[in-house]
Amino acid sequence: MLLAATCLFGLERQLGEEIDALGLKRVETIDGRVLFEGEEKDIPRVNINLRCAERVFIVLGRFHAESFTELFDGTNEIRWEDWIGRLDQFPVSGHSIKSKLTSIPDCQSIVKKAIVDRLSGAYGIAWFDETAVKYKVEFFILKDEAMLMIDTSGIALHKRGYRPDAGIAPLRETLAAAIALTSRPSEDILFWDPFCGSGTIAIEAAMIARKIAPGLKRSFASEEFPRINADMWRLAREEAASFEIKDSKFEAWASDIDEDILDVAYENALRAGVEENINIFSCDARKIEKPADRRGTIVCNPPYGERMGDMKEIEWLYKDIGRHFKTFEPWHIYVITSCDYFERLYGRSADKTRKLYNGMLPCTLYQFFKPAEFRKDKIHGKSFDKKDFGKSYGKNDRAYNYKKKG
Domain positions in the chain are: 2-151, 173-214+246-400
pLDDT in tens, 59-99: 999 999 999 999 999 999 999 999 999 999 999 999 999 99
Q: What is the CATH number of domain 2-151?
A: 3.30.2130.30
Neighbours of 124 (CB within 10 A): 8
What is the pLDDT, as a whole number, of residue 405? 27
Give the number of C-alpha atoms closer than 13 A to the C-alpha of residue 265, restricted to the C-beta side. Answer: 33
Average pLDDT in the chain: 90
Q: Which of 368, 354, 336 is nearest to 171 (CA)?
A: 336
Give the number of C-alpha atoms closer than 13 A to the C-alpha of residue 59, restricted to the C-beta side. Answer: 21
Helix spans in 253-310 (H): 259-272
> Would you tell me which CATH number, out of the four given (3.30.479.30, 2.40.50.100, 3.40.50.150, 1.25.60.10), belongs to the domain 173-214+246-400?
3.40.50.150
Compute the distance between CA of residue 363 and CA of residue 318 in angstroms, rounded to an integer: 15
| Residue ranges in the chain modelled with pLDDT below 50 | 307, 380-406
Backbone φ and ψ of 322, nearest 5°: -60, -40
What is the pLDDT, as a whole number, of residue 309? 55
What is the pLDDT, as a whole number, of residue 395? 28
> Which run of H or E residues covers position 323?
helix 311-324
What is the pLDDT, as a whole number, of residue 377? 60
Q: Determine contact, residues 74/65, Cβ cutoff 8 Å.
A: yes
What is the pLDDT, as a whole number, of residue 373? 65
- pTM across the whole model: 0.88
Q: Which of 271, 51, 252 is nearest to 165 (CA)?
A: 271
CA distances from 187 to 14, 75, 79, 207, 300 (A): 21, 51, 50, 12, 19
Q: Is 320 helix (H, G, I), strand (E, B) or coil?
A: helix
What is the pLDDT, as a whole number, of residue 334? 98
What is the pLDDT, as a whole number, of residue 235? 98
Side chain identity, residue 188: D
Neighbours of 398 (CB within 10 A): 10
Q: Is 220 helix (H, G, I), strand (E, B) or coil?
A: coil
Q: Which of 203, 170, 174, 205 is nearest to 296 (CA)?
A: 205
What is the pLDDT, as a whole number, of residue 168? 61
Q: Determine contact, residues 267/163, Cβ cutoff 8 Å.
A: no
Q: DSSP letters along 31-92, please?
A: TTEEEEE--TTHHHHHHHH-SS-SEEEEEEEEEE-SSHHHHHHHHHTS-GGGT--TT-B--E
Q: Are strands 332-337 and 296-300 parallel, antiparallel or unpaired?
A: parallel
